[in-house]
Amino acid sequence: MGYEEELQSERDYVAGLYARLDAERARVKAAYQSALGGTGETAMDRDNEVRARHREMKRLNVADYGLCFGRLDGVDGDQSYIGRIGLFDEDNDFEPVLLDWRAPAARPFYTATGANPEGMSRRRQFLTRRRSVAAFTDEVFGRLGEEQGDVALLEALNAPRGEGMRDIVATIQAEQDAIIRLDHPGVLVIEGGPGTGKTVVALHRVAYLMYTQRERMERHGVLVVGPNPAFLNHIGRVLPSLGESDVVFTTTGGLLPGLSAVDEDTPDVARLKGSLKMAGVLKAAVAARQKLPSEPIPIGMKDVVVPITADVAEWARQEARDSGLPHNEARKVFREIVTYVLTERAIGRIGKGWMSRSDKVAWEEMRAGLTRDLADDDNFVAALDSLWPIMTPFELLGELYASPELLAEAGGDPSLHRAEGSPWTVSDVPLLDELHDLLGRDGTEQAVDQAAAAERQAEARYAAEVLDSLISRADHMDDEDHLFATDMLTEQDLAERFEEHDQRTLVERALADRSWTYRHVVVDEAQELSEMDWRVLMRRCPGRSFTVVGDLAQRRAAAGATSWGQMLDPYVKGRWEYRSLTVNYRTPAEIMAVAARVLAEFAPDVQAPESVRANGVQPWARQIAESELAAAIEEFELVEAGFEGTSVVIGPPGVPGTVPAAETKGLEYDSVLVVAPERILADGPRGAAELYVALTRATQRLGVLHHEPLPAALSGLAETVRT
């Protein structure tokens, strides 16, 4: 069969797959609408059914683009088509007609080679346009000169970039596939230089885990933490394009519900706030608010006055601390001890001469009355507030920063002092989260919880009364064959009829709930996270299931990681795996040669990733006066308008018309113009890393504009002259 005949055959087969996809969509849509109509036995059953059908609809809807992207031929003559999702022949014992790329049988599509064909004779890769196969290429294993394994990959790499990251499901390489399918339940660190695909590999690993561990993952979902909103927007389509939507995307500044911090501290302050020592400072700050009275506090009860003395408060404080409860919730213990002592002493004085301690009933009756009086006594409540105040994390941290005295008392560095009302920074978020654990729920939150519990109890009581009534009626009926409501309903069933079920998606619920825990967490640009950031993330994932992505050579943050063990050993010592990616799929060899010289200047022990391709386009440099910058940028943008794809101008912070390198981390553009590299290098101790990041964002073209002579590391750039 000739190429054209085979191409038509593949088109017919893929058209049949799309017909099955459309039929499956129609079936699931009908089931979804039926679930909306309420066919489940209980409200919870109906909610679960609706959510399950909705997930199924979303999974099918993303399959339109590149439903099937290849075929595997076994040496035994079997053929398997590989695609985004699995499809089955319902008329033939549910035989697979399309294998999900994550299925074990699909793995040779990514890993088979001429040296190790894994039982395969051919790998066929499709080039698709919408729903049709436009062309295909073959690798015939074992026939010299017939392997063309790089065709699909190179076509994808050379294609213009769009507005967001694309999945690589059709072109996963063997070293990437090994990481994606790695059977490790704990923390996996993926390190790689620019362009090695570590981010997209991590996202495909999430899709693989959600496929192989569906029941475990879907109830709690996955958290993806990235360096900035632009990066999250860039990667946000990858998992939905693979049919996975139960994923929360956020920055470290958004890890606390109700707060989205974007302001940055100075490097020195960020380093202090990010240090693990801050956990001790915050603990001391909370303890400092658990006070003893300098003078006895008189409390009037009936006709006597009983003081809260230092020894009473000290006993109550110790009992409250020993309870192990967070500060706000331990106030109940503090109050109970103080109340007990005050009422005991008051009764002894009031009943002196006529009430005996042995008269337990009278004694306890008087205690109950005095306790009620104290609860409504403004002076007593004010005394409690002064000795054991209810606080929110925002109140306590704000007061700590605003007071040099409180900072000193808690062991904090004086440079943390700032004016009251200053905006919260990204580095404050882990501190506020730490305080949530130390303080616990405040009075408002406790009142809401108590009201909700009371409402649930009332619903349960009402359901029990209804059930008792039904049972009573059933007892007076003689027809043994009659089916009563009590044969089908339980007390819980009836209570659910009156309960409002949460209709929000998993993502919405997780974002609103600080106590939400995830089954898996992906941390990108992880080298930038501080020790305090890691404390937050470990709270969010008690199962310690992480994919950690980063490159220590690109670290910018003063509080960031100098080694992976520094951050991970306190939590999973000896239980985390390390993998590296060494091939640069993004950056052409011509550009990577320039970036590698910069890397050698500040990290001589780090090997730059090897580019998988060259494109024949040499990077260039041009020296201009500062007054010419705006015109030069405009010229660059005008030239780039003639190309398909994306472009960016990167420069030092504050330079008009440019984007700081830190804001482009993890992003990629067809063309990059770097402005004033000499000033980027001079901007602090991590300036060289910033320049390295800037130079490695380009997938096709790189230009450099400089005012001063080029730094030595860039001296190999060809200088161009404006004509």
Tell me: the pLDDT tens digits for 178-193? 999 999 989 999 999 9
CA distance 160 to 671: 10
Range in 344-353, 606-615, 650-659, 688-697 with the lowest mean pLDDT = 344-353
Q: Which is more confident, 113 or 286?
A: 286
Q: What is the pLDDT of residue 169?
A: 87
Q: What is the pLDDT of residue 6?
A: 95
pTM, two decimal places: 0.84
pLDDT digits (tens, 9 = 90+) for 5-21: 999 999 999 999 999 99
Residue 192, SS3 per DSSP: strand
Range in 47-51, 74-78, 203-207, 519-523 with the lowest mean pLDDT = 47-51
CA distance 625 to 474: 95
pLDDT digits (tens, 9 = 90+) for 208-224: 999 999 888 888 999 99
All residues at 6 or more sequence positions from 592 whose CB lies less than 8 Å from its CB, including other chains: 195, 584, 608, 609, 610, 611, 696
pLDDT band per the 50, 70, 90 thresholds, residue 484: very low
Instruction: Taking residues 232-252, report their average pLDDT.
Output: 90
Range in 106-110, 465-469, 505-509, 631-635 with the lowest mean pLDDT = 465-469
pLDDT band per the 50, 70, 90 thresholds, residue 147: very low
Q: Angle at the Cα of 361 (from 359 to 364), degrees rounded to 5?
A: 105
As to burial, measured by CB atoms within 10 angstroms (0-12 exposed, 13-18 middle, 19+ buried), residue 430 is: buried
Does residue 644 surpass a pLDDT of 80?
yes
pLDDT band per the 50, 70, 90 thresholds, residue 52: confident
CA distance 247 to 225: 11
Does residue 539 surpass a pLDDT of 90?
yes
Name the residue among 109, 110, 170, 129 with its Cα closest to residue 11. 129
pLDDT digits (tens, 9 = 90+) for 261-293: 999 999 999 999 999 999 999 999 999 999 999
pLDDT band per the 50, 70, 90 thresholds, residue 203: very high
Q: What is the pLDDT of residue 476?
A: 58
CA distance 34 to 251: 38
With beta carbons less than 8 A apart as the criterion, state whether 587 and 694 touch: no
pLDDT digits (tens, 9 = 90+) for 606-643: 999 999 999 999 999 999 999 999 999 999 999 999 99
CA distance 73 to 702: 42
Average pLDDT, the chain: 88
Edge-to-edge strand ranges of the sheet holding 187-192: 247-251, 222-226, 520-523, 546-550, 187-192, 576-581
With beta carbons less than 8 A apart as the criterion, state whether 578 and 191 touch: yes
Does residue 455 surpass a pLDDT of 70?
no
pLDDT band per the 50, 70, 90 thresholds, residue 370: very high
For 226, 409, 424, 586, the CA distances from 568, given in Å and listed in that order, are: 18, 31, 27, 29
For 26, 56, 88, 149, 640, the CA distances from 32, given in Å and listed in that order, are: 10, 9, 20, 42, 47
Instruction: Taking residues 515-533, report their average pLDDT.
Output: 97
pLDDT over 90, % of the chain: 67
All residues at 6 or more sequence positions from 520 whose CB lies less than 8 Å from its CB, including other chains: 206, 209, 217, 222, 223, 541, 545, 546, 547
Q: What is the pLDDT of residue 37?
A: 72
CA distance 714 to 706: 11
Name the residue among 609, 561, 555, 604 with its Cα closest to residue 581. 609
Does residue 473 surpass a pLDDT of 70?
no
Does residue 145 surpass a pLDDT of 50?
no
Q: What is the pLDDT of residue 144?
A: 47
Q: Which is more confident, 66 or 202?
A: 202
pLDDT digits (tens, 9 = 90+) for 279-334: 999 999 999 999 999 999 999 988 899 999 999 999 999 999 999 999 999 999 99
pLDDT over 70, % of the chain: 87
Instruction: Taking residues 325-349, report their average pLDDT.
Output: 94
pLDDT band per the 50, 70, 90 thresholds, residue 47: confident
CA distance 221 to 243: 13
Instruction: Taking residues 454-467, report their average pLDDT.
Output: 59
User: Which residues contribute to the annotated binding site?
Assistant: 192-199
User: Which residues contribute to the annotated binding site for ATP?
Assistant: 192-199
pLDDT band per the 50, 70, 90 thresholds, residue 445: low
Q: For residue 315, give the H/E element and its range.
A: helix 310-322
Instruction: Taking residues 351-373, report their average pLDDT.
Output: 81
Length of the chain: 723
With beta carbons less than 8 A apart as the criterion, state whether 235 and 165 touch: yes
